[in-house]
Structure 1
Amino acid sequence: MVAESPKIQSDADLSGANLTGADLTGANLRGANLTGANLTDTNLISANLTDTNLTGANLNGANLDGANLDGANLPPVHPWITDQSALGLITEP
């Protein structure tokens, strides 16, 4: 039996949601608002996070292997890093 990806509507408003430890493998979160969400230890392998707003989200321990982060608004890893392209997560065209 093949597990299905979670059914989350694109452009969903999940701001402030507690998704700690959730398995969102392959989830389509395109354009979702995850502002201030707690994604600690969340599995986001191969998730579509295109154009997702992750401002203020807690991504400690989150697994983003293979996730599509094109156009995503990511929180800086360190307070002194404001250029996210320097992190290697976002490439400039």
Structure 2
Amino acid sequence: MKRNAPNLFRSETSFFIHLDEKSSVTITFYAENGTKIRTILNQQELSEGRQEIRFSGNHLKQGVYQVKIIIENSSGTSTENRILQIN
């Protein structure tokens, strides 16, 4: 998984994920205190290869957020936590 670009953003950012096989992907946003804000993808089946998931942060306040990305496939489950700043 590559970092989202841009990380410090106001209106939109993209998450780039490379999948070795068809996978179920979940991306969830949390406030800095751990409160769940929004799920962007919820066990969405994505094809093998490079994926770009765009996200609009227009509805969110300025601040620091946590993003949890979960990828599930025949190899198992991988989880990545990221910090995202909205300006």
- Shorter-chain TM-score bucket reads under 0.3
Structure having the larger proportion of residues in strand = 2
Greater share of helix residues, 1 or 2? 1
State the structure with bigger RCO (CA 8 A, min sep 6), 1 or 2: 2
User: Could you state the TM-score of these two structures normalised by the residue count of structure 1?
Assistant: 0.21
TM-score (norm 2): 0.22
